[in-house]
Structure 1
Amino acid sequence: MNGATYAVRDSVTMLRRNLKHIARYPSQTLMLIGLPLLFLLLFVYVFGGTMSAGLPGAPGRNRGDYLTFITPGILVMAVASVSISTAVSVATDMTGGIIDRFRTMPIAKVSVLTGHVLGAMIQTWLALTTVLGVAFLLGLETAASATHWSGLIGLLAVVSFAMTWFTVALGLASPNPETASNWPMIFLLLPFVGSGFVPVESMPTALRWFAEYQPFTPIMNGIRGLLAGSPDTSDVLLAFGWCALIGLNGYFWSRRLYRTRAAN
């Protein structure tokens, strides 16, 4: 077998390892999925009646309108929630001694990180599917066509992949799992300081400027447009552009950090 074949085989082995960890601790997965669901229920049923009145073009207080508005932000939070677990898992491997064992084995170095990424992607899609399913049960309406759904799935996949690689890098850069659990928290906060829960037009000038130009706003606007069946091309392209930037930086940063730390 050539090098690429060995890398794929070892990556599958590492994926199985991570899936066993996920199956061994189902409570962790439930917590990762439960956090965005908690925010979904909280904002729809506690704040939805009041918040919906401030939506552009809203006829009045309608929780259904607000559910449609905040679902993209909740989906991004679901991705961020899993990314925190990924950073902790990577940091645990780097500080727990398992990497020293892997270095003595004839395995492809890239497979260790790839296994974490693939395992996190599976967890992320489980979380996204659950959140969307609950949103539809609550009354989420969509005018998305098959083409729009394909674009939505593609965008969510790219967002998940980009954030996963970036949080892998954060886990590698962390001196311990505790620090790794704190650094990605920014990803949970950014939807609040963007278009996730309120229109950016309602924010003070300085905060509105930040909200308009931070990465998650075009991502959430792109998801919102695709769900509505009327995506803004500029938002979608900007969302993919931000994901490419975040993902590539995370990937190359992860490779450099892993080579440095695994060699020590």
Structure 2
Amino acid sequence: MASVTDFPEPVHTAAGGITAWWRHSGLLLGRQIKVWLRDPGTLGQSIIFPALSMVMFKVVLGDTIGQATGQNSAYSTVPLVILVGAMFGGMATSVRLSVERRTGLLARLYVMPIHRGADLTSRIVAELLRILLTSIVLVAAGFLIGFRFTQGPWAALGILGVPLLYGAAFSIMTLALAVNSSRIPLVPILSLFCSLMMFFNSGFAPVESFPTWLQGVVKYQPMSCAIEVMRSLAAGGPITENLIRTAIWAGAMLVIFTIPALIGYRRAATARD
């Protein structure tokens, strides 16, 4: 008859430390990617809706923008739809997080021997991978309407880097809202916010075409700054000023929303209601 000492000692999985954070984040990243690939809503918001918007802008507004700027409208439209894809895809991800909160999945993950920061990290990294993939797809589609890289390979990489920076900041904001707003209509508010930014920026129409009192808002809002950087990287033009503005906007959003996202995530995962 086996004695108590014959049984193996239990193996304890450390839920803290950099190694655990790295390993658990990678495992949960795989889960996030599978969920994203199986979610038609996220796919539609990230790729289909922006691609249709690209066609609409080109067909309806292409000649108007081209005549006003003297430049192929594709150099405005493609950056615009890439950022739209980043925003609406991020909105779909935040909605899914709200659903997982209501169904108790966050609570189940929180009580498992998983690093506390792994799940949130995996969501952000998955967002960056999604933005990179959709940016490549939309740039490829943009070639059909005249978009080209004219400033060399490093500038082309920069065009993909700008939406990653913009998307990271926007994702942190939407995640913070999702975990801190269980009783407000998140979808209508985010949809209205994204729609306003989509139609009031320098990629939708030249700044000079907006009313005088609105031109300053349009010119300096974060989406316009990012669009101008991407347009200059593709077609040529000044980069530094708008790149600094984009970095300031992104940095400000990360500073403002990172702590609320972390605190809200913990509260959402441990809440009893």
Give the alignment's TM-score, normalised by structure 2: 0.86
Provide the aligned length of Structure 1 versus Structure 2: 256
2:51 paired residue number: 37
Matched, 1:98 2:112: no
Among 256, 261, 264, which residue is 2:268 paired with? 261
| Cα separation, 2, equivalents of 1:154 and 1:182 | 29
Q: Deviations over 1:154-186 (max 9, x none)?
A: 32221121111111112112316x833233321
> Residue 61 of structure 1 aligns with which residue?
none
Cα displacement string for residues 84-111 of structure 1 (whole angstroms, at most 9, x for unaligned residues):
1111121112111112212321111111
Distance 2:182 2:234 in 1: 40
Q: Distance in 1 between matches of 2:265 and 2:53?
A: 35
1:183 aligned counterpart, secondary structure = helix
The answer for the alignment partner of 1:116 in structure 2 is 123
SS at match of 1:184: helix
Partner of 1:3: 17
* Runs of at least 5 residues in structure 1 that lack an aligned partner in the other structure: 59-63
Question: Which residue does the alignment assign to 2:61?
Answer: 47
| Alignment root-mean-square deviation, CA | 2.0
Q: How does 1:173-192 map to 2 (within 5 A)?
A: 173-175=180-182, 179-185=185-191, 186-192=193-199
Structure 2 distance, partners of 1:159, 1:117, is 13
Flag structure 2 segments of 5+ consecutive residues without an equivalent: 1-13
Whole-Å separation in 1 of the counterparts to 2:45 and 2:218: 28
- Is 1:81–1:188's contact at 8 Å kept on the other side of the alignment? no
Quick one: distance in 2 between partners of 1:54 and 1:229? Answer: 17
- In structure 2, the residue matched to 1:160 is 167
Shift of 1:27: 5.9
Whether contact under 8 Å (1:191, 1:217) holds in the other structure is: no
Once residues 249 and 95 of structure 2 are traced to their aligned partners in structure 1, the CA distance between those partners, rounded to angstroms, is 24
1:80 and 1:188 in contact (8 A); partners too: no
Counterpart position of 2:250: 243
Task: Identify the residue that residue 25 of structure 1 maps to in structure 2.
Answer: 39
Query: What TM-score, normalized to structure 1?
Result: 0.89
- Displaced runs of 4+ in structure 1, greater than 4 A? none
